[in-house]
C-alpha cells in the first residue's frame, strides 16, 4: 500500500506544481499589465498626442516620437513586406524541394530570432558609418531587416497550406504559373499573409535596440529622414532612465501606448488567423 | 472571289495565330521574370545574413587585431586607456541566461503539462493565448517595469531574505552576498526567465500535443498516474522537440537587450555575488555605443556584437536542426 500512497502523493505534488506554474506565468502578465495601466493612464491626455517631447521640468507630449515611429514603421513594412512575400513565394511555389529553399528556410529561422541589437550594429556599419550621420532611413532599414524574416516565414507557411488542386485547376485552364500564383494562390492565402504582416508590425513597433544607433533620437519636430528621428521606444528608454519625474511619467504613458498598440495588433492578427481556420 | 475569300480567311487565321504566339511569348517571359524575381528575393535573405557577418567582422577587425585572443579572456574595460576585454560581458550574458533557463525550463514544462493533461478543454485556448501574450509584450516594457516595480520590490522584500537565509551556508553565502542593490545579475535573470517562458511553453505544448494518444492511453491503462505518464511517456517521446524549444528560448535570452539594460546596472566586473550589478554583451552595446569615442572603443563594442552573434547563431542553429529532425520524424 505504501508504494501506491507515495505514487499518489508524488502525482498530487506534480499536479499542484503544474497549476502553480500556470498561475505563476499568468500572474506576471496580470502584474505587468496592471502596473502599466495604473502608471500609464494617469498620464494619458490629449497633450500627449499634440505636443512635442519637453525639456525636463516642463509639460509636453510624445507627438514627435509617435510620428517618427509611425513613419519608420511604414517605410520598414513597405520595404520588408514585398521582399519577404517574394522570397516566401519562391520557397513555397517554385523551389519547394530545392536545396536553396532548405538553406534559406534555415537561415531565415535564425534571422527570425537573431538579437535585434546585432541588426542595429549591421545597419550602423553599412549605412550610418558610410553616410557619416545617424538617420531615419537607417532606422527604417534596420526595422525592415527585422520585418523580412517574419513575412518570409508566414508567406511560405500559408502558401504551402493552399491545396494543390487549386493550382492544378488554374493550370488546366491554361494559366501560366506566375499568374496562377498571383491570382489564385495569393488570394487563397491572403488572410494568413496579412496576419504575417500584422505580426511583423507588432514586432517592430516595440523594437528599441536596433534604433538606438541608427535613427538615434531627436528632441524636436523633424520629418527629415536624413537626420536623426525620434521614436517612441528610444524616447521611453531615455526618459525612463532619466532622473526627472515628469520624463519618467511620459515614459510610462509611452509604454502604455506601445503595449496597447502591440496587443491590439496581435489580437487582430489572431482573429484573422482564426477566421481562416474556421472557414 | 473564292480565292480572295480564302486568302482573307487564312490571313485572319495567320494573324490570330501570330497574336496567340505573341501573347504566349509574353506570358512565358512574364513567368520567367517573376520566377527570377522571387528567386532573387530568396537569395537576398541569404545576403542579409552574409552582410551581417561580414560587416561585424569588418567593424570588429581593429579591436581583434589589437587585442587578439586576449580580448576574450581580459576583464579590462577602460575607455580612457583604451584597454578592452570581453570577459565581463560574456560572463554576464551567460550567467543571466543560465538563471533564466533554470527557472523558465521547469516552469514552462509544468505549464505545458497543465495545458495538455490537466486543464479543462474550454480553458486551454484562453490560457495558452495569455501565456503567448507575454511574448508579445515589447522588451522595453519589461525593462521599465523591472526598473521601477520589480527591482525595488526585490530590493526591499526578497533579497534581504535571501541574504539572511544563505548567509551561513559556505558557497551560497558568496553567491548571494549583500548588499541588496535591487538591480543586478539576479534581477536580470529573473526578468529574462519571464520573457523566455512563453517560447518554451508554446513549443513544449505543441510537441506534447503531438504525442500519439495511444501511447498515453496505454500507460494510463497500466495504472500510471498523470505525473508518471508525463514524466516517463510524454517527456521521453518529445525530448528532441523540448530541447529544441529550450535552445530557442536560450537564443532569445542571450540576445535580449532592453529589458536587461534597464536592470543589470552596467558594471564591468565579475562579482562572485549574483546580487551585484554586472553587465551583458547586449547591455554594454546598448549603453555605450552612441557615447563611444574613438575607433578602438567602437570597434571593441562591435567585436562584442560579433561574439554575441556567433554564440546565438550556434545555439539557434542547434535548436533549428533539432526541431527539423523532429519534423522529419513526424512526417514519416
The 10s digit of each residue's pLDDT in B273-301 is: 888 999 999 999 999 998 888 889 999 99
| Mutant choice from A3, A15, A19, A25 vs B, greatest count of B C-beta within 10 A | A25
Average pLDDT, chain A: 91
Give the ranges where A186-244 is alpha helix by DSSP (H). Answer: 186-188, 190-205, 209-212, 232-240
Rounded CA gap, B197 and A88, in Å? 29
Could you tell me how many residues make up chain B?
A: 332
A252 and A36 in contact (C-beta within 8 Å)? yes
Return the bridge partners of B83, or none.
Answer: B78
Chain-chain contact of A29 with B49 (C-beta, under 8 angstroms): no
pLDDT score at B293: 83
ipTM: 0.92
Q: In the block, which residue shows the cell 508525463?
A: B230
pLDDT score at B330: 56
Percentage of chain B modeled with pLDDT above 90: 62
Is a pLDDT exceeding 70 seen at residue B12?
no
Chain-chain contact of A263 with B142 (C-beta, under 8 angstroms): no
Give the pLDDT band of residue B329 (cuts 50, 70, 90). Answer: low
Q: In the block, which residue shows the cell 531565415?
A: A108
- Give B10-16 contacts, CB < 8 A, sequence gap 24+: none
Kindly identify which residue of chain A lies nearest to residue B228, measuring between CA atoms: A11
Percentage of chain A modeled with pLDDT above 70: 99
* pTM, to two decimals: 0.91
Residues of A in contact with B234 (CB under 8 A): none
Rounded CA gap, B221 and A114, in Å? 45
C-alpha cell, B153 = 520590490
Chain-chain contact of A110 with B144 (C-beta, under 8 angstroms): no
Nearest-CB residue to A32 (from B141, B147, B227): B141
CA distance A220 to chain B (A): 19
Chain-chain contact of A118 with B305 (C-beta, under 8 angstroms): yes
Kindly identify which residue of chain B lies nearest to residue A141, measuring between CA atoms: B48
Residue B290 DSSP label = G
Beta strands in chain B (DSSP E): 77-78, 83-84
pLDDT score at B164: 85
Chain-chain contact of B312 with A115 (C-beta, under 8 angstroms): yes
pLDDT score at A273: 77
Nearest-CB residue to B55 (from A14, A122, A241): A122
Across B88-108, average pLDDT: 95
Is a pLDDT exceeding 70 seen at residue B8?
no
Within an 8 Å CB–CB cutoff, is residue A34 touching chain B? no
Rounded CA gap, B312 and B196, in Å? 14
Percentage of chain B modeled with pLDDT above 70: 95
Residues of A in contact with B201 (CB under 8 A): 25
CA distance A180 to chain B (A): 10
- A99-138 residues touching B, CB cutoff 8 A: 100-101, 103-104, 106-111, 113-119, 121-122, 124-126, 129
A178 and A167 in contact (C-beta within 8 Å)? no
Across B49-73, average pLDDT: 93
Rounded CA gap, B302 and B294, in Å? 13
Give the pLDDT band of residue B332 (cuts 50, 70, 90). Answer: very low
Kindly identify which residue of chain A lies nearest to residue B200, measuring between CA atoms: A25
Residues of A in contact with B136 (CB under 8 A): 202, 262-263, 266
Each residue's pLDDT tens digit, B208-267: 998 999 999 999 999 999 999 999 999 999 988 899 899 999 999 999 999 999 999 888
Tens-of-pLDDT digits for all 279 residues of chain A?
Answer: 788 889 999 999 999 999 999 999 999 999 999 999 999 988 888 888 988 888 888 888 899 999 999 999 999 999 999 999 999 999 999 988 889 999 999 999 999 989 999 999 999 999 999 998 899 999 999 999 999 999 999 999 999 999 999 999 999 998 889 999 999 999 999 988 999 999 999 999 989 999 998 998 888 888 888 889 999 999 999 999 999 988 999 999 999 999 999 999 988 888 887 775 554
Each residue's pLDDT tens digit, B201-221: 999 999 999 899 999 999 999
Is a pLDDT exceeding 70 seen at residue B1?
no
CA-based nearest residue to B92, from B273, B247, B288, B245: B273
User: How many other C-beta atoms are found inside a 10 Å radius of the C-beta of residue B153?
Assistant: 15
| Mutant choice from B106, B136, B287 vs A, greatest count of A C-beta within 10 A | B136
What contacts A146, CB < 8 A, 6 or more positions away? A76, A80, A116, A119, A200, A203, A204, A207, A210
Amino acid at each position: 500500500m505504501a508504494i501506491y500512497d507515495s505514487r499518489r502523493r508524488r502525482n498530487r505534488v506534480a499536479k499542484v506544481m503544474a497549476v502553480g506554474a500556470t498561475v505563476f506565468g499568468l500572474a506576471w502578465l496580470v502584474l505587468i499589465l496592471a502596473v502599466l495601466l495604473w502608471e500609464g493612464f494617469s498620464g494619458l491626455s490629449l497633450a500627449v498626442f499634440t505636443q512635442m517631447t519637453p525639456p525636463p521640468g516642463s509639460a509636453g507630449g510624445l507627438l514627435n516620437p509617435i510620428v517618427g515611429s509611425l513613419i519608420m514603421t511604414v517605410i520598414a513594412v513597405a520595404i520588408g513586406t514585398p521582399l519577404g512575400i517574394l522570397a516566401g513565394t519562391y520557397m513555397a511555389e517554385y523551389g519547394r524541394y530545392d536545396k536553396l529553399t532548405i538553406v534559406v528556410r534555415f537561415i531565415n529561422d535564425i534571422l527570425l530570432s537573431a538579437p535585434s541589437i546585432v541588426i542595429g550594429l549591421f545597419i550602423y556599419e553599412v549605412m550610418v558609418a558610410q553616410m557619416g550621420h545617424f538617420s531615419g532611413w537607417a532606422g527604417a532599414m534596420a526595422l525592415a531587416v527585422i520585418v523580412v524574416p517574419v513575412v518570409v516565414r508566414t508567406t511560405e507557411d500559408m502558401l504551402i497550406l493552399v491545396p494543390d488542386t487549386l493550382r492544378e485547376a488554374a493550370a488546366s485552364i491554361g494559366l501560366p504559373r506566375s499568374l496562377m500564383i498571383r491570382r489564385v494562390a495569393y488570394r487563397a492565402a491572403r488572410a494568413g499573409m496579412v496576419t504575417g504582416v500584422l505580426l511583423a508590425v507588432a514586432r517592430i513597433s516595440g523594437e528599441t535596440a536596433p534604433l538606438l544607433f541608427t535613427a538615434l533620437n531627436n528632441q524636436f519636430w523633424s520629418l527629415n529622414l536624413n537626420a536623426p528621428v525620434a521614436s517612441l521606444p528610444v524616447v521611453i528608454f531615455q526618459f525612463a532612465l532619466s532622473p526627472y519625474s515628469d520624463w519618467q511619467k511620459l515614459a510610462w504613458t509611452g509604454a502604455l501606448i506601445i503595449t496597447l498598440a502591440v496587443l491590439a495588433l496581435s489580437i487582430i492578427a489572431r482573429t484573422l488567423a482564426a477566421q481562416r481556420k474556421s472557414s | 472571289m473564292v480565292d480572295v475569300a480564302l486568302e482573307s480567311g487564312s490571313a485572319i487565321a495567320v494573324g490570330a495565330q501570330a497574336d496567340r504566339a505573341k501573347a504566349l511569348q509574353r506570358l512565358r517571359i512574364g513567368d520567367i521574370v517573376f520566377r527570377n524575381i522571387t528567386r532573387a528575393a530568396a537569395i537576398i535573405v541569404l545576403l542579409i545574413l552574409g552582410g551581417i557577418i561580414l560587416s561585424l567582422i569588418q567593424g570588429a577587425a581593429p579591436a581583434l587585431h589589437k587585442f587578439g585572443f586576449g580580448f576574450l579572456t581580459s576583464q579590462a574595460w577602460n575607455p580612457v586607456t583604451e584597454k578592452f576585454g570581453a570577459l565581463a560581458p560574456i560572463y554576464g550574458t551567460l550567467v543571466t541566461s543560465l538563471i533564466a533557463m533554470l527557472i523558465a525550463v521547469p516552469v514552462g514544462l509544468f505549464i505545458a503539462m497543465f495545458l495538455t493533461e490537466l486543464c479543462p478543454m474550454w480553458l486551454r485556448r484562453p490560457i495558452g493565448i495569455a501565456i503567448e501574450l507575454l511574448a508579445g509584450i515589447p522588451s522595453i516594457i519589461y525593462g521599465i517595469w523591472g526598473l521601477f516595480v520589480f527591482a525595488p520590490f526585490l530590493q526591499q522584500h526578497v533579497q534581504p531574505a535571501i541574504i539572511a537565509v544563505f548567509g551561513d551556508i559556505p558557497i551560497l553565502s558568496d553567491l548571494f552576498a549583500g548588499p541588496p542593490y535591487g538591480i543586478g545579475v539576479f534581477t536580470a535573470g529573473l526578468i529574462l526567465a519571464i520573457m523566455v517562458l512563453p517560447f518554451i511553453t508554446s513549443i513544449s505544448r505543441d510537441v506534447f500535443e503531438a504525442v500519439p494518444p495511444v501511447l498515453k492511453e496505454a500507460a494510463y491503462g497500466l495504472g500510471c498516474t498523470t505525473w508518471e505518464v508525463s514524466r516517463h511517456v510524454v517527456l521521453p517521446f518529445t525530448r528532441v522537440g523540448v530541447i529544441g524549444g529550450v535552445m530557442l528560448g536560450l537564443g532569445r535570452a542571450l540576445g535580449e537587450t532592453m529589458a536587461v539594460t534597464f536592470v543589470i546596472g552596467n558594471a564591468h566586473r565579475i562579482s562572485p555575488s549574483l546580487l551585484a550589478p554586472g553587465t551583458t554583451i547586449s547591455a554594454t552595446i546598448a549603453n555605450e555605443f552612441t557615447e563611444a569615442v574613438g575607433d578602438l572603443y567602437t570597434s571593441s563594442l562591435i567585436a562584442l556584437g560579433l561574439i554575441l552573434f556567433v554564440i546565438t547563431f550556434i545555439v539557434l542553429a542547434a535548436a533549428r536542426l533539432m526541431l527539423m529532425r523532429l519534423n522529419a520524424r513526424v512526417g514519416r
